[in-house]
Amino acid sequence: MPEGRRAFARGAGLGLAMLCAGLVAPARADDAAAPGVAPREAAAAPAQAAPEQAPHPTAAHPGTGTSAHGQIFQPPPDQILPDAQLPAGTIAVEVRDAEGKPVSGTEVRLGVLFQSIAEGAQSTFKVAKTDGAGRTRFGKLSTDSSHSYRVTVRHAGADYASAPFNLKEDAGFRVVLHVYPVTHDARGTFVWSRCFVHIEPRDDVFQWQVLCRLFNLSRITWVPQGVAVRLPEGWKAFEAQDDMTDTRFVADDAAGAVLTGTFSPGQHSAGFRFQTPHDHSETASFVLSALPRTAELRVLTSASPRMTLDVEGFEETRQDVGNDGQRMLVTRWMAQSADQGLGDVRIHLRGLPTPGMGRWWALTLAVGIAAAGMFLSRSPIPAAGSETGERKQARQRLLDELVELEQAHTNGELGPRAYERMRGQLVDALARLELTPTRAA
């Protein structure tokens, strides 16, 4: 997997590993782990966290699929289990509705992925339909570990899929999938989202990462149409979260990040990242839209000592510390009722490091390294083993620039990447200078 995708997956895992409050009480600001932020409770958290509880801005809402008492629908669990009563190389599929009743005449698709170092990846599929008992079967399948399988059911315009799995050599597998009525209008469901927006200022761009967890608390599957997150002006380098589900965002030049997939009852995740230009000014403002039915949205940014974060209508910004020890600024918005929408999110960053200092450092760094280079390339130096004035001047110039570079970084006048790059060049030039022996005349 490319390093960019690995980094994205790591960030996605951090963003979605959240501890949340109950169904009615609002979550506390410290109860969630955002990308790059280490929660205070992390040390005491269990290795396997329980499924995240859904946001619940209101106890009941007309047309949401909840009962009169506001109880949410608990979907029956799908199953992927080995079954010793089935012959090896066999996958038996059952399709049921929300009440566990069989669904007949439904198309079932078995995806087969073969992967090997010598032959690469090859994918094929098989198709069958369920009988009157809602069952079908695929046989004579390979149990080799190079083959993986995924069952998908197409029903009423929605796709319901199992996680990929490998077969065992001594047993078949039984897969049970549930299907539900389908709507394209979120108002006919009880769907809510909790999202993170992380902004990382870099030398020439702002790197954005958006992670969302969506909760469908009704008995109806939601297949969104025309639902999008409008992105800030000038966005580019869009990349969707790469995972094993069909719920995702896709880029659209006009709409931004369009939400696609099948959101059946239960929990789903989707995310993406992109970049916007950095014009090197001390302030930057952005506007993006929130998903419909947003219950909670947090905005956070990696911050230099002088930076501030302000998001209109959000809570007061607080300071935190990232996993790498870097200063983080975090704020959030929470819905107080089912009818409260968020709309546009207006973000303001102030006190950004300006390039003036960075460009000045680039110039002085070049001068210091040039001085060292001139010494290293000089003609024979008199007095073997002696310290020449040229060597002393070159060394002192480099040492002075190292001191000033550290001060600029401490004062927030230089970004972390520029600091690391320039410091490495200075240390390298100083090392080459010290390791070069003086030559006899």
Per-residue confidence (pLDDT) for residue 13, from 0 to 100: 37
Give the model's confidence band at 366: pLDDT under 50 very low, under 70 low, under 90 confident, else very high: low
Per-residue confidence (pLDDT) for residue 197, from 0 to 100: 97
Beta-bridge partner residues of 51: none
Average per-residue pLDDT for the chain: 79
pTM: 0.69
- Residues in Cβ contact with 165 at an 8 Å cutoff, skipping those fewer than 6 apart: 80, 148, 149, 150, 173
Per-residue confidence (pLDDT) for residue 203, from 0 to 100: 81
Mean pLDDT of 396-420: 73
Mean pLDDT of 245-260: 93
Domains 3-61+190-350 and 79-182 share a fold: yes
Give the model's confidence band at 184: pLDDT under 50 very low, under 70 low, under 90 confident, else very high: very high
Highest mean pLDDT among 1-15, 177-191, 261-275, 313-327: 261-275
Q: Is the pLDDT of residue 383 over 70?
A: no
CA 74 to mean position of chain CA atoms: 27
Q: Is the pLDDT of residue 400 over 70?
A: yes
Q: Is the pLDDT of residue 5 over 50?
A: no
Per-residue confidence (pLDDT) for residue 436, from 0 to 100: 63
β-sheet with 135-138: strand ranges across: 79-83, 172-178, 91-96, 135-138
Of the given ranges (94-108, 269-283, 305-319, 416-430), which has the lowest mean pLDDT?
416-430
Mean pLDDT of 230-256: 91
Higher-confidence residue: 112 or 31?
Answer: 112
Give the model's confidence band at 176: pLDDT under 50 very low, under 70 low, under 90 confident, else very high: very high
Per-residue confidence (pLDDT) for residue 401, from 0 to 100: 77
Per-residue confidence (pLDDT) for residue 356, from 0 to 100: 53
Mean pLDDT of 372-386: 48
Per-residue confidence (pLDDT) for residue 368, from 0 to 100: 57
Highest mean pLDDT among 69-73, 331-335, 352-356: 331-335
Q: Is the pLDDT of residue 289 over 80?
A: yes
Alpha-carbon dihedral angle through residues 383, 389, 395, 397, given to the nearest 10 degrees: -170
Q: Which CATH superfamily is domain 79-182 in?
A: Carboxypeptidase-like, regulatory domain (2.60.40.1120)
Per-residue confidence (pLDDT) for residue 57, from 0 to 100: 58
Higher-confidence residue: 339 or 178?
Answer: 178
Per-residue confidence (pLDDT) for residue 68, from 0 to 100: 35
Give the model's confidence band at 235: pLDDT under 50 very low, under 70 low, under 90 confident, else very high: very high
Enumerate the domain spans of the chain: 3-61+190-350, 79-182, 355-435
Mean pLDDT of 135-146: 95
Per-residue confidence (pLDDT) for residue 23, from 0 to 100: 28
- End-to-end alpha-carbon separation of the chain, Å? 56
Mean pLDDT of 202-212: 93
Per-residue confidence (pLDDT) for residue 441, from 0 to 100: 41
- Of the candidates 245, 342, 388, 338, the one whose C-alpha atom is nearest the C-alpha of residue 56 is 338
Q: Do the Cβ atoms of 375 and 433 come closer than 8 Å? A: yes
- Residues in Cβ contact with 46 at an 8 Å cutoff, skipping those fewer than 6 apart: none
Euclidean distance between CA atoms 35 and 24, whole angstroms? 25
| From the candidate CATH numbers 2.60.40, 1.25.40, 3.30.1370, 3.10.100, the one assigned to the domain spanning 3-61+190-350 | 2.60.40
What does the block give as tokens for 429?
Answer: 């030039």
Q: Is the pLDDT of residue 414 over 80?
A: no
Percent of the chain with pLDDT over 90: 51
What does the block give as tokens for 59?
Answer: 């106890």
Q: pLDDT digit string (tens) for 118-130?
A: 888 899 999 999 9
